[in-house]
Amino acid sequence: MTIHREGYRTITVVAVALIALKLLICKFVSNAWFCDFLVVLTSLFFIFIVSFFRIPSRRLTINDSLFTSPCDGKVVVIEEVYDEEYFKDKRLQISIFMSPLNVHVNRNPISGEVVYSKYHKGKYLVAWNPKSSTENERHSVVLKKDEKEILVKQIAGAVAKRIVNYSIVGQQVKQGEELGFIKFGSRVDLLLPIGTKVNVSLNEVVKGGVSVIGVL
């Protein structure tokens, strides 16, 4: 397991802040039991922060005829929607909710060319709110392989306040490579052609870059 580069600054700031907090409180509180409890509590919180930015070692699924999950999490939506941003027609939407305990690296579900990449300012509704797909802060990327296009939408939530995206229009990307990162929980939507054969069901837990979502 390694630590994602997006976590270096956050981990350092949290470590300094927790140490300063512990020293400050224990300087004015003489209760040794309370100080020991504080050490345990801050240590657990620090471990949580470090684990949030973890990149576990895993064998990725690489197959040109399949598309994989862009993130770790639970499938919370499988439905037809009308996409007003890019396709301007009906698409099959699959939404995956990421809790703060999930790995938060986002990966390309297919290999292909980045033909669209756009950041949208927005609200911070809870990630399971249906309106979060169109009203929350988000970053949309369209990947094209042959004549097929998939839209991947990173969506911020009530806790997530920063979306990182590495996609550049014209760039050739590979399945399983990093697409971006969302800090502290949210969701990722996939917009697929109507009729796409889907390999997952509602409430199924998936792994980014590993779980097969469907067939191209």
Structure-block tokens of residue 85: 């941003």
Structure-block tokens of residue 95: 């939404």
> Which of the following is catalytic: 95, 186, 201, 211?
186
Q: Does the annotation count 186 as an active-site position?
A: yes
Q: Are 7 and 52 in contact (CB under 8 A)?
A: yes
Q: Are 141 and 155 in contact (CB under 8 A)?
A: no
Q: Which residues contact residue 87 at a Cβ distance below 8 angstroms, ignoring those fewer than 6 apart?
A: 149, 151, 191
Q: Which residues contact residue 159 at a Cβ distance below 8 angstroms, ignoring those fewer than 6 apart?
A: 100, 184, 185, 186
Burial class of residue 22 (count of CB atoms within 10 Å of its CB; 0-12, 13-18, 19+): middle
Q: Are 215 and 133 in contact (CB under 8 A)?
A: no
Q: Which residues contact residue 173 at a Cβ distance below 8 angstroms, ignoring those fewer than 6 apart?
A: 108, 111, 112, 113, 114, 143, 167, 179
Q: What is the CA radius of gyration of the chain?
A: 19
Residues with catalytic function: 186
